[in-house]
Amino acid sequence: MGGCVSTSSRSTCSSRSNGETVPPSCLGIGFCGQKRTKRTFSEHHVAHQHLPSIPNRIFMNGKSRTSCIFTQQGRKGINQDAMIVWEDFMMEDTIFCGVFDGHGPYGHLVARKVRDALPVKLQTVLHSSSSKQNASGGSCFTAISKRMDESVGDPEKEGSAEEKLNSLWREAFLKSYKAMDKELRSHPNLDCFCSGSTAVTIVKQGLNLFIGYIGDSRAVLASKDTNDSMVAIQLSVDMKPDLPREAERIKRCKGRVFALQDEPEVPRVWLPFDDAPGLAMARAFGDFCLKEYGVISIPEFSHRALTDRDQFIVLASDGVWDVLSNEEVVEIVASATTRSSAARILVDSAAREWKLKYPTSKMDDCAVVCLFLDGKMDSESDYEEQGFSSATVQSNHSGNALEPDDAQRSEPTLQRNFTVRSSDENLNDPYAKAHTESDRNGEFGVGEDQNWSGLEGVTRVNSLVQLPRFSEERPNL
């Protein structure tokens, strides 16, 4: 969603390397005492400041054992989208996936920061919860999952185990999202006053799928119905400001929700005392100018039990959903010549639709993650035949991968109490320390509007309007 003036940063993170052989610990990686030569959670936790050394983690155009990812810059400036797939996330059968869409002058930096730090925070919270449970005689996540498998057919036991597992993951998503937003607020080299990011994140643990999200990036599941026809199931809700529950909260906090006359299909959030900044979503990381006026970073959470009819999951930023329906996206991915090319083909299809449907509009950035639930991918030769260069493949395995937009740099224009950092200052920040304490979070629930279709409206404009819009006389928040 970007399009506002922004600076760029340079990252030297890569996505893969070989881990060392160490003995695992209970729920650190979830094996509960079994002997395996896999990297443990505690090792991940200690080494999170060295993300290039973490195995099975990709964040640039390419593929993994079970997925493919691809992003393409639009025509609004630097690419503000980010994405990640992290296999063997805490344990061998667990995968973390996420798509993050930045907005505002520093949106691309916020999106990358969240991409790098949020998964580590989720691990930290889970590890902390596991340690407390084990100390009090409780059970680790793997043991609960095993009991769920063993209790199939016994509704009472099955329900109890599922409820406990859901509760643990719900708390983990809530606390990690809160810790992420707290770190952004206090970050010394990243001004998030009028910059922020969406997040749609999933964790696949065996046959359990856990979803947490804010903003309007979307997750869709492709599944086969009883006639073996492919159907699209929306897993997330686009958090637009005029969703009834969202609008009510914002207005209760003195924020305002309305659309501009020249874009009546785009509801926005405005300050009570000024027609700014005009944020086109109700929940986001960052955007602290609006956090006192109803914009929150508390994620919606849901759980789904996967079946053998479920085929793949697509996570994407709104640059894709603005021009393609859920059904079209599923059809495009399902008909891709090879699985490793599916994300790229989907982005190419979205680019064509932008030109056809909105030839006078600037195409938005697009980022896509395609996760195939049977764990099968194409051969490396097929992968390279689909247009990924050897340099792209190498960038996902070396320790010197660069962000695709790092060559583009522009000076920031947002001014707020002289706290905006220069490009050079941002470049000097390695985003190394991803761990913060996890606090008790507020309650939330998935309400009756869970099946809201995301308004079906097309956002062909910036997520924020005409930044910066704040005057020197603006009251302090």
β-pair partners for 72: 366
The pTM assigned to this predicted structure is 0.75
The mean pLDDT values, 10 residues at a time, for the chain of 477 residues are 36 37 34 40 48 84 95 94 94 94 96 96 87 57 54 59 89 97 95 96 96 98 94 97 97 97 94 94 97 97 96 97 97 96 97 94 95 83 46 37 46 35 41 36 37 40 59 44
Query: Could you give phi then psi for residue 73, rounded to 5 degrees?
Result: -70, 140
Quote the DSSP letter at residue 276. Answer: -
Distances (CA, A) of 110 to 103, 180, 224: 8, 11, 37
CA 347 to chain centre: 17
CA 371 to chain centre: 14
Quote the DSSP letter at residue 98. Answer: E
Torsion of CA 255, 261, 265, 267, to 10 degrees: -10
Helices (runs of H) and strands (runs of E) counted in the chain: 11, 17
Given this model, what pLDDT does residue 274 score? 92
Helices 155-186 & 141-150, crossing angle to 10 degrees? 150
> How crowded is residue 377: how many other Cβ atoms within 10 Å of its Cβ?
19
Whole-angstrom Cα distance, residue 190 to residue 185? 9
Given this model, what pLDDT does residue 143 score? 54
Given this model, what pLDDT does residue 10 score? 35
Two structure tokens written together for 448? 């009756």
Question: Could you tell me the domains of the chain?
Answer: 41-239+281-419 (3.60.40.10)
- If residue 123 lies in a helix (H) or strand (E), which one and from where to where? helix 107-135
Which residues lie below 8 Å from residue 165, measured CB to CB, with a gap of 6+?
A: 141, 144, 145, 148, 208, 303
CA 396 to chain centre: 19
End-to-end CA distance of the chain: 25
Whole-angstrom Cα distance, residue 346 to residue 329? 7
What is the DSSP track for 128-188? Answer: HHHHHHHHTT---HHHHHHHHHHTTT-HHHHHHHHHHHHHHHHHHHHHHHHHHHHHHHH-T
Two structure tokens written together for 340? 């490793």
Given this model, what pLDDT does residue 146 score? 54
